[in-house]
Amino acid sequence: MSVDVPDTKFLVPVKGVEKSIKLDDRAKSELQAIGMMDDKGKLKLKGVSPKMLKKMKLEAVDCPVFEKELGFVQCYVCSNFHSRIMGKVYCKGEPLS
Ligand code: SF4
């Protein structure tokens, strides 16, 4: 879905999934680089409680940029992530490789 919000190209609904979707290697190295994941692969997201993180792991988006289903944690830390309002991600939609 396209939207008319500045800086936002897509409005992507967040959906629930039964099994958490693993972070891919790209996301892991980005998270480690910005200090949001330790060497053991444990996430340390600023401002996100363990309870919230658990919930986020069981959420996903059908990402219009990568054209695949991604876990919400990965979306949340993506450089295109603008905000999440009422169960929808405001995604900047910049091409990412
Ligand atoms: S913020 Fe990133 S992961 Fe989330 S929908 Fe946009 S491009 Fe995909």
At 43-82, the pLDDT tens digits run 988 889 999 999 999 999 999 999 999 999 999 999 999 9
For residue 81, the model assigns a pLDDT of 95
The alpha carbon of 11 and the centre of ligand 1 are apart by a number of angstroms equal to 10
- Scan for tokens 């800086």, then name that residue: 7
Q: Which numbered atom of ligand 1 lies nearest the CA of 82?
A: 1
The alpha carbon of 52 and the centre of ligand 1 are apart by a number of angstroms equal to 19
State pLDDT tens for residues 72-84: 999 999 999 999 9
pTM above 0.85, yes or no: yes
Q: 36, 24 in Cβ contact below 8 A?
A: no
For residue 9, the model assigns a pLDDT of 95
State pLDDT tens for residues 5-14: 778 999 999 9
Total residue length of the chain:
97
Q: Which two tokens stand for residue 47?
A: 């401002």
